[in-house]
Amino acid sequence: MGFLIDRRNNPKQKSTVNRQRFLRRYRQQIQEAVNENLRGRHITDSERGEKVAIPTKDIGEPNFRHGSGGRITHVVPGNDQYTRGDRIPRPEGGGGGSGQQGSPDGEGMDEFVFQINRDEFLDVLFDDMELPNLTKRLLSGQEEFKRVRGGFSSAGPPANLSVVRSMRSATARRIALGAGRRTELRELEKELAELPEGEEGQPRREEIEARITELREALSRIPFLDDVDIRYHRHYQEPIPHSKAVMFCVMDVSGSMDQSIKDLAKRFYILLYLFLSRNYDRTELVFIRHHTVAKEVDEDEFFNSRETGGTVVSSALELMKAVIEARYSPTEWNIYGAQASDGDNWPDDAQRCLRLINEVLPLCQYYAYVEITDAGDKPLWNIYSTLAERWSEVFAMQHITGPGDIYPVFHELFRKQTA
Amino acid sequence: MNSVTREPLSTETDWTFELLQDYEREIARIAGDFELDTYPNQIEIISSEQMMDAYASSGMPINYHHWSFGKHFLAVQNSYKRGHMGLAYEIVFNSNPCIAFLMEENSLTMQALVIAHASYGHNSFFKGNYLFRTWTDAESIIDYMVFARNYIADCEQRHGVSEVEEILDACHALMNYGVDRYKRPYPMSLEEERQRREEREVILQQQVNELWRTIPVSEDAAQHREQARYPEEPQENILYFLEKNAPLLEPWQREVIRIVRKISQYLYPQRQTKVMNEGWACFWHFHILHEMYRQGLVTDGFMMEFLQYHTAVIYQPPYNSPYFSGINPYVLGFSMMQDLRRISENPTEEDKRWFPDIAGTPWRETMDFAMRDFKDESFILQFLSPHVMRDLKLFSVLDDSERDYLEVTGIHDDSGYQTVRESLSANYDLGNLEPYIQVYNVNFRGDRTLTLRHDMHNGRPLEQSNAEEVVKHLHRLWGFNVVLESVKDGKVCSSIAHSELTVSD
């Protein structure tokens, strides 16, 4: 006779540790795969996980096995035409229909494919990176509260009953109420024991015994647990602090920015957005595109519409400043700027641009400028490079030449500062 | 037990715990009538995720943590989610009590089938077969796995996950070479194991270094030692050799090797009895459920459903089918077991010629004997009958890399039976399936190079890139140069060497 056990409610995910070990071990390959996959993602699409494919040969577990060659006799079923001595041309790839055992681990395929969830995805993506100047500005906490345990009270719902506290105060009360009587009891018992045997002690003995009975009864009447003993856990409402960030995506959409450059910029923005939303409870996006005039647009228009014309960077900075003033008070919001451009700018705009960026930077937590170009330093690069020294805390700029650069550059911009 | 018409146990298709209990009781009764000797059963209902967990930890109910288990889990999960593969209906462990996992998705019929298959078929095989009796200790395995898991976790705490992982990786690569094929292990309890480990750690560290010994020896003895090989005889248990002799390992590293070795030893009989074990279990679920039907305990609908599952398992695609992937061990095992019963009960003239010992004997005893004292290789060599070969239309094909064609060496006819049978048997001999590699020599007067030898059976070479990786792992454990020589007809024809100079870490 056997017995049956229902194990379905046992803790699940026994393999979680093993899974994490696996992810940890192949971090590098997974990182590459994730970086590759970024291409197809939407900017705000950070909710889903990611499918990861890494080369099978990298994760193999070697063991001694036979290679091809030598003499092997296979036995196979279903003979429909052969007799002894028949010769069969060797099939392509050799092996002669030998039944290699099935491969549950997907061996034989070139790639090992699996899913990682959102958290794992972000972990991999932002491994060893951090937000610089992560001083969360105002932690506004008016909207949401959470219940926190704090102390005890003598009133409350039964569910909050604190057994330990209640018993403790009951014990204290019993000790306090009975103390005098117990002392007397002890003394009387002592006296009783010392009383001489026989007649002469008899009246006193009876007196004492009567008193002892009385005292014992009185003591037993002290209640074990009384209403006044009951204690409840107290809860109070604590405001949950919220940190908010706004990310300004500034991009040049003049004729010189072609689709491939925009794609590169987009991937950079995706990274930044994911990164910010990991660090802040709420992250908003503002898209500003500009050629000679700047305009605030939605994501779709930001990446997909085309304009022609010259480039006046200051227009975008001016708009950014206006938007900050109108909607995102720096005391309340953590402001991040990310500007992508091919580096062109109207020569006469340089001074104005420099003045404006100097006004914008103090408002920002961080401002990153990426220049996507193959040709050397462009006008905007030259303007901005003067900022690097003065604003080294909040300003960074990097060159990007191809998709392969984006992640390293991003990594460089947000590298963990080794203090 | 003769056909008493009874009420069927149930008519619905969904299982409940009460119904499972009823079925299990009846199956136990019938198995008892058939004199099946089993460990007590512990049947656990699990979800598909738990089944995947069980898959991932190499078929152990408890195991230590390792990335490779995570990898297997991800692979199984991925193909299961995409519908590329179904999960097994059950997993059964060779332990006492015998633990069987049943999937909650199974229908009632399937649950009854797997209870008969796993909890009575496999269970009695575990208890009866000589390999399991010799090499595994059903009493202590769960304890041992608990010990192993805690010990490894402890090492990770003390020495870091990466350190432990390196040793485990190396051990896993050599896992199949961590078994004793001939010595009988001694069963041990958790407590004994712990004590022994502590003693071992102290003693080992004092003794291991035969290689370092500096006590002067006399001229004669020195001469003798100069010529003698160490180890004197080749060692097949490579992990054991490393555990005892690798000069640079820490005590805990030796213990980790030992753990992997022990697990490998525990799994060793399973690798050698796949055909028999599955054949035996299929044979019994088939007969137990038929007996239930005969007694009116199950309905016609139940039997139709059961037979559908059964025939799906017992299906052998022919060699030229796109679904062909070798001989299905369930088919071979089941056919042979069925045939054994037939030979015992209704022998033909041919059977009497081929199996004079068992033709016409009581079938229960014959089958019990076959189950107890054989492994796949010897079982096939002994009992594969012409009848089964004809049914499966088996033929043997020689693939010699020196010729550019394959040659059919035998088919299911009088002149071929013997050839086919021997060839098939050889295909289940682990000694043929795995490259034959032994520790051959240690240069202990010089640079401590460890030499291993691969005997090229039938001239079959090693798969080069894998072998190179394993040699690297060997080097990691041994700590000095490692050479792996492939030997054919007494001559070394190729070798893989790994020395410190070439390590590129």
Neighbours of B191 (CB within 10 A): 10
Angle at A348 between CA A344 and CA A352, to 5 degrees: 95
Task: Single out the residue of B438, B481, B50 nearest to residue B232, CA to CA.
Answer: B438
> B326 and A14: CB-CB below 8 Å?
no
What does the alpha-carbon distance between residue A313 and residue A257 come to, in Å, rounded to a whole number? Answer: 14
| Residues recorded for chain B | 505
Those residues with Cβ within 8 angstroms of residue A101's Cβ, 6 or more apart along the chain or in another chain: B326
Task: Single out the residue of B397, B384, B395, B392 nearest to residue A74, CA to CA.
Answer: B397
What is the ipTM for the molecules in this complex? 0.82
Cβ-based contacts of B473 with chain A (< 8 Å) = 62
The distance of A36 to chain B (nearest Cα, Å) reads 20
pLDDT in tens, A318-345: 899 999 899 888 877 888 888 888 888 8
Task: Single out the residue of A352, A230, A284, A1 nearest to residue B32, CA to CA.
Answer: A1
505 residues of chain B, pLDDT tens digit each: 444 557 888 888 788 999 999 999 999 999 999 999 999 999 999 888 888 888 777 778 788 999 988 888 888 887 787 766 666 778 898 898 999 988 888 889 999 999 999 999 999 999 999 999 888 888 888 899 999 999 999 999 999 999 999 999 999 999 999 988 766 655 566 777 788 788 777 776 666 566 566 666 566 665 665 567 788 888 889 999 999 888 889 999 999 999 999 999 888 899 899 999 999 999 999 999 999 999 999 999 999 999 999 998 899 999 888 888 889 999 999 999 999 999 999 999 999 999 999 998 999 999 999 999 999 999 999 999 999 999 999 999 998 888 888 999 999 999 999 999 999 999 998 888 889 999 999 987 788 899 999 998 888 899 888 899 999 999 999 988 999 999 988 888 888 887 764 443 3
Secondary structure (H, E, C), B380-407:
HHHHCCHHHHHHHCCEEEEEECCCCEEE
Contact status of A21 with chain B (Cβ, < 8 Å): yes
> B72 and A105: CB-CB below 8 Å?
yes
Cβ-based contacts of B166 with chain A (< 8 Å) = none
- SS3 at position B182: coil
Mean pLDDT of A180-203: 85
What band does A3 get if pLDDT is binned at 50, 70 and 90? confident
Segment 381-410 of chain A within 8 Å of chain B by CB = none
What does the alpha-carbon distance between residue A131 and residue A121 come to, in Å, rounded to a whole number? Answer: 18
pLDDT of residue A95: 42
pLDDT of residue A194: 84
The distance of A74 to chain B (nearest Cα, Å) reads 5
Cβ-based contacts of A117 with chain B (< 8 Å) = none
Those residues with Cβ within 8 angstroms of residue B263's Cβ, 6 or more apart along the chain or in another chain: B58, B60, B145, B148, B175
> A90 and B406: CB-CB below 8 Å?
yes
CB of B247 within 8 A of CB of B78?
A: no
pLDDT in tens, A281-314: 777 888 888 888 888 888 778 777 767 777 888 8
The distance of A129 to chain B (nearest Cα, Å) reads 23
> Is pTM, for the whole model, over 0.80?
no
Q: What is the mean pLDDT of chain A?
A: 79
Q: Which of A71-80, A256-265, B258-267 has the lowest mean pLDDT?
A: A256-265
CB of B19 within 8 A of CB of B40?
A: no
The token pair that represents B336 in the structure block: 């042979």
CB of A99 within 8 A of CB of B420?
A: no
Q: Give the helix ranges, DSSP H, for B246-354.
A: 251-272, 274-294, 300-313, 329-345, 349-354
Cβ-based contacts of A96 with chain B (< 8 Å) = 397, 399, 406
What band does A100 get if pLDDT is binned at 50, 70 and 90? very low
The distance of B445 to chain A (nearest Cα, Å) reads 29
Cβ-based contacts of A106 with chain B (< 8 Å) = 75, 78-79
pLDDT in tens, B19-41: 999 999 999 999 999 999 999 99
